[in-house]
Chains A and B, each alone.
Chain A
């Protein structure tokens, strides 16, 4: 058996760190470019793109793009709307989809396999292909709210949340994870007289941290990046999300790139904060389930 000499070990360590640094640079540089560009006037920003200066806080640095961006669009309202829509959808998705997955894995009912296959088949259908029929449905759906009975969901928060709660991918993730949970635990609880609801709430969900984090992050990114759907169903500026707000920074001919970068920097903050808060659980989830985000 060949032994590893200290020299070899050092070389490997250097190589590993070199590769990791390179990968980190590839991932960090776009973010760095965005933040640095948000601090520069347009002319300098465009000139700097041909050199490493694009990633450095050099030249005419100021927060002018940020104040101009706030003047151009109601950024606070857009971010708040996106956080509200995304947060509500993520929470409801986790609840509904985990319940559905629980049913698929632990309950016996006829047609389960067929329904699950159909559910999996929906994964290959891009959302965009069903947007038109969904739009027509949403415009005719009834609702009972503060103003009494009404027809049509357009121009509301609910039309941006409810259609995305039940989702095949999240159910699939939960099903995969639940299948690996020890069956003995569930069976023992049943023998002890625990209800399915109690088992779901007290045993299954507390053990499902990694898959909850994974599903939450994937759903968060999907919802936060929504553009086409809110564009089609929302006309009221006060309930628009951040991605539609990006349109405020382009007109027919000109793009104020500095302001665009400032806006992107601002709307990236909630995404980074959410990801960083769940990073550890997400990584452990990837390691245990093999799911890649």
Chain B
């Protein structure tokens, strides 16, 4: 009897050991080390739940500071040390797919039906990445401010025209009640510029690059529409309608709530303090229409599979596990960002019907336009940022636009058209 028991125990231990050792390890790299928000904790929770949910795969997570993340991925790609699962910023994804850092997700696209456009990363006709959240930008202000100056409250159906918007800013400036009528967030640099400001250019009818061919910026970044945009952009600074590039970061954070600015062009991640400060008086308004339709940026961090992953099926299983409304809701409630589906939005604290940020979901759904889907975007974004800052500081707009076009076209040529 004792022998039988011992054999059964040994067999049980062996079977258990085999089950554990049968789990194949998958590595996941995540960009949010030190982010000090709920996102990192939720990603860890997601990984833990996935690991506990099945016996085939075990995901181990490595976190990187965002500042260093893209460089670390680039170096790892060179050395052939990429992980199985990558998280990737939406507009950067085409570059990584083109550079062969990533492979198509290979998931059933029907799964992604109804997702916000900015949460799906497509390149060359295939889905390479998918996000559990997105962000949206709006004009933040107070109803009482607009009423005080007899300014119409715009709606999604009837946003401000470009003239109305500019006139509203001038009316508020002339009142002398505010330091500036509008805060564009010039204190923030980097990706904020193309994310937040290229939609204005697109609404004028221009763009950073010609999306038909992705082979040139000629005519779209220095054509009549782009010139009109650049003149309007420079006018904002010349007419003291917005703070310039030397804006203090602290003013960006608190200027609207403190009453220094009448309006602020900001993202939904910054909306809750505005609701807390102004309550029912808080307004989140759609982007103005400068003639070519109102537009806001889209595309945030997403998950994808590295090109060198030896276990794409495992990586896919993890990503599919993450694509559940309960995770979308958890991330949205934890970080304040937009869930990718309407059904998840309906379950969140902020985006459900009557929620404080409900309007942002509709803004994203109606106005979102992803940044140029091209591997060259990472270079074009830097050129665009530098151009906008120079024009804001008084540079000649024709010189700036032409120089940016030349630089972008040269870069595309140097990279043999970036695979388009």
Residues in A lying within 8 Å of B, measured CB to CB? 42-43, 46-47, 68, 71-73, 132, 135-136, 138-139, 152, 154-155, 228, 231-233, 235-237, 244-257
Contacts and interface: CB of A to CB of B under 8 A. Distances in A.
B125 to A, nearest CB: 29
B250 A252 contact: no
Given A46-B248, A247-B66, A231 B75 contact: yes
A135 B78 contact: yes
B336 to A, nearest CB: 14
A251 B301 CA distance: 13
Contact of B192 (A136, A155, A247, A253): A253
B29 A235 contact: yes
A87 B76 CA distance: 27
B78 A136 contact: yes
B287 to A, nearest CB: 19
A255 B35 CA distance: 10
11 contacts: A46-B250, A47-B250, A68-B36, A135-B79, A138-B79, A233-B75, A236-B62, A246-B67, A247-B33, A247-B67, A252-B190
Interface of B: 29, 32-36, 62-68, 71-72, 75-76, 78-81, 83, 188, 190-192, 248-250, 253-254
Contacts of A256: 36
B79 A237 contact: no
Nearest to B75: A232
Nearest to A137: B79
Contact of A235 (B32, B62, B190): B62
Contacts of B80: 139
A185 to B, nearest CB: 49
- Most chain A CB inside 10 Å of its own CB: which residue of B64, B72, B79, B81: B79
Given A46-B248, A247-B66, A248-B65, A72 B78 contact: no
A155 B82 CA distance: 12
B249 A255 contact: yes
B254 A43 contact: yes
Contacts of B34: 72-73, 247-249
A237 B62 contact: yes
A275 B36 CA distance: 33
Contact of A251 (B35, B63, B75): B35
A237 B190 contact: no
B314 to A, nearest CB: 19
- Most chain A CB inside 10 Å of its own CB: which residue of B34, B62, B67: B34
A277 B420 CA distance: 60
Contacts of A47: 250
A231 B72 contact: yes
A252 B191 contact: yes
Nearest to B249: A46
B88 to A, nearest CB: 14
A231 B62 contact: no
Contacts of B253: 43, 254
A5 B34 CA distance: 64
Given A251-B35, A252-B191, A235 B79 contact: no
Nearest to B270: A253
Contacts of A68: 36
Nearest to A251: B66
Contacts of A232: 71-72, 75
B39 to A, nearest CB: 10
- Most chain A CB inside 10 Å of its own CB: which residue of B63, B188, B190, B250: B250
Contacts of B191: 252
Given A235-B62, A247-B34, 13 more contacts: A43-B250, A43-B253, A43-B254, A138-B79, A152-B81, A155-B81, A232-B75, A233-B79, A235-B81, A237-B62, A247-B33, A248-B33, A249-B65
A158 to B, nearest CB: 15
A269 B74 CA distance: 32
A273 to B, nearest CB: 25
A77 B125 CA distance: 45
Contacts of A244: 65, 68
B70 to A, nearest CB: 10
A253 B67 contact: no
A247 B78 contact: no
B2 to A, nearest CB: 39
A169 B62 CA distance: 36
Given A42-B250, A255-B249, A250 B65 contact: yes
A132 B74 CA distance: 11
A231 B68 contact: yes
- Most chain B CB inside 10 Å of its own CB: which residue of A72, A236, A248, A255: A248
A43 B248 CA distance: 10
A232 B64 CA distance: 12
Contacts of B64: 235, 247
A253 B188 contact: yes
Contact of B71 (A73, A136, A231, A254): A231
A139 B64 CA distance: 20
B154 to A, nearest CB: 26
A152 B253 CA distance: 46
In the complex, the 4 A-B pairs of residues with the closest C-beta atoms, listed nearest first: A248-B34, A247-B65, A232-B75, A139-B79
B66 A154 contact: no
Nearest to A228: B71
A118 B229 CA distance: 56
Contacts of B63: 237
A154 B82 CA distance: 12
A153 B66 CA distance: 24
Contacts of B250: 42-43, 46-47
A256 B36 CA distance: 11
Nearest to B66: A251
A72 B249 CA distance: 21
Contacts of B249: 46, 254-255, 257
